[in-house]
Structure 1
Amino acid sequence: MGDPGLAKLQFAPFNSALDVGFWHELTQKKLNEYRLDEAPKDIKGYYYNGDSAGLPTRLTLEFSAFDMSASTPAHCCPAMGTLHNTNTLEAFKTADKKLLLEQSANEIWEAIKSGAALENPMLLNKFLLLTFADLKKYHFYYWFCCPALCLPESIPLIRGPVSLDQRLSPKQIQALEHAYDDLCRAEGVTALPYFLFKYDDDTVLVSLLKHYSDFFQGQRTK
Structure 2
Amino acid sequence: MSIITGKSLAAALAALAVAAGVQAQEKVLYSENFEEAIPGQTPKKWTKVWGSPGSDIFAVTNEKSAGGDNALLLTRGDNQGQWGFGVAFPHVDRGTVEISFNLLLEGPGNQACLGFEIRNNTPGRLIFGSATVQDFKIRNSRRKQVFSLTGDTWYKLKFTIPASKADGEQSRFEITDIKTGQSATMESPIKEYPNKLGLLCINTLPGKNNFKAFIDDVKVTVK
TM range (shorter): under 0.3
Return the structure number with greater helix share: 1
Larger Rg: 1
The two structures have a TM-score, normalised by structure 1, of 0.24
Query: Greater share of strand residues, 1 or 2?
Result: 2
